[in-house]
Structure 1
């Protein structure tokens, strides 16, 4: 629910602004009348004008956030900032990247925010942290603990699933190929949320006193969707018959075991690369077997009825746009 309090505009530092969700948050902040500053990492293959064109109305500060002192230098140059909103996340989830970005960069950003008198910190996180088994989850949780221990008005938002993460098989189905599922495609479910609806929710957190100092899971409109539901939806929208290709979950287990063994046996100079591949496999295994809904400890299961919903855009809307070429 949006706040009934009057919204206050101000200068906002946005981290992770060049990602899909970051750009949506930048647009939402600008639409509310905020002055948006973005700390932008140098990007291979993209010029400064190209990045600036993707973030209209946003003042850009260039720097590698993984390097110590970058956020401090940005805030020193920017002047007073009301809040930090972070959509920043490691790009791979591998150990080195996760601890560098999901933990250390955020921790330094928090220290800089406190040093410069920033009052709020809104953190985009992930619902999978409620049952952590992966390196990036541990890194995120380590920072979240630091944020919660701070005196800032913090908000941690944990979305269920993104439309983008559920779009990898659209072209495959359009071409008449089978939709890949683990098992029968009904073991997991999520309630995906659009970039725009999540951006609105994040920006609302700045002005809603009921959300301060809380961890907030959030999903898009009901119902929750299984992979089989996603396949059925794509079949209907493309006019293709429903075709499913089951993939044994045990195949992922074998891949994880094989890569984990290889990492232990690999010479030290190549070990990090093999360990990263093993972690990618663990990430895939995790998402193949865990629902992205609120986990209820009392019942020992994921529950859609406990998963809050917001927004109006559905995955069907998103699929229609993709199929129309938008």
Structure 2
């Protein structure tokens, strides 16, 4: 998803880009080879499997490369998928990059790894540690806050006059969402700007941090709909997770990932996507860097008027809306 925007930005900047992709990409694999080649006009497109060292070695990186930008991420955050993609597949890319003489590796990670309780967070952190310890390659680890796409799930519901679903009072957590194009610009900057070398780089969009309630109020104002909240007790989520964990002991194939998805949902409901101070045990809005020009309000306004084409949520869709 973000890799598409990064690739297009690197092409725009004049880099000699090799884009390595699955043969079926995009939300739910809807894009085929021809679509990908069209999207990445100006780049050399190659297709293969990031879980295969041979595919990366012999297809993706056929020649010497200078810099690798990895935007790999598991689709759902399930346990096996997280370790297969967020860790092992990304590690495969790193290992072959070092073999082929790459001098710099830009890794798209996530700001939520600061307080790791979920499998995908642990997988990302292990990869971050491997990259930092490699020694023969420099790195930039980019940890963005929420994407615009990840806070867009209820726009259509609010437009229809339905309530905005939030946990508790809607002020348990906040984030500084960043647009795809702004994040792609920042990631691309990591290739040429020396102050981003061998750094972990948290990054958010411009402006203040918004709680769920503040996002809801913004949507009500933009759509002209009356305020209408549907608060969900966090304890309800705890009960559901506990039940799924119980069944997972007996039927792991059916319930293990479902329990993990519940934990992911709760995490985003109660933990802010901001820089975490481990000493004071608080999230710090002012310490979370702002970058770019695209504001959340402008995004919401455009999405309300024009829809969410290109922002399909896939497995992250709320109640099946905008899949």
Q: Unaligned regions of 5+ residues in structure 2, if any?
A: 308-323
Report the Cα distance in structure 1 between the residues aligned to 2:61 and 2:149, rounded to whole angstroms. Answer: 35
- Are the equivalent residues in 2 in contact too, given 1:103–1:140 (CA < 8 A)? yes
Corresponding residue of 1:30? 11
Candidates 97, 108, 121, aligned match of 2:81: 97
Report the Cα distance in structure 2 between the residues aligned to 1:74 and 1:211, rounded to whole angstroms. Answer: 29
- Are the equivalent residues in 1 in contact too, given 2:20–2:60 (CA < 8 A)? no
- Are the equivalent residues in 1 in contact too, given 2:244–2:258 (CA < 8 A)? yes
Q: CA deviation at 1:45?
A: 4.2
Q: CA deviation at 1:27?
A: 1.5
- Are the equivalent residues in 2 in contact too, given 1:69–1:108 (CA < 8 A)? no
Q: CA deviation at 1:248?
A: 0.6
Q: CA deviation at 1:92?
A: 1.2
- Are the equivalent residues in 1 in contact too, given 2:68–2:106 (CA < 8 A)? yes
- Are the equivalent residues in 2 in contact too, given 1:159–1:193 (CA < 8 A)? yes
Q: Residues 45 and 28 (structure 1 numbering): CA distance in 2 closer, same or farther, change over 3 Å?
A: closer
Corresponding residue of 2:130? 146
TM-score, length basis structure 1: 0.90
Q: Answer with 35-44 or 304-313: which moved more.
A: 35-44
Q: Unaligned regions of 5+ residues in structure 1, if any?
A: 1-18
Q: Which runs of 4+ in 1 moved over 6 A?
A: none
Paired residue secondary structure (1:285): helix
- Are the equivalent residues in 2 in contact too, given 1:180–1:246 (CA < 8 A)? yes
Report the Cα distance in structure 2 between the residues aligned to 1:203 and 1:197, rounded to whole angstroms. Answer: 10
Note the 1:235-274 alignment, pairs <5 A.
235-266=220-251, 271-274=252-255
Report the Cα distance in structure 2 between the residues aligned to 1:224 and 1:41, rounded to whole angstroms. Answer: 35
Note the 1:121-200 alignment, pairs <5 A.
121-150=105-134, 151-200=136-185
Candidates 206, 221, 228, aligned match of 2:213: 228
Report the Cα distance in structure 1 between the residues aligned to 2:72 and 2:182, rounded to whole angstroms. Answer: 18
Q: CA RMSD in A?
A: 1.2
Report the Cα distance in structure 1 between the residues aligned to 2:121 and 2:213, rounded to whole angstroms. Answer: 27
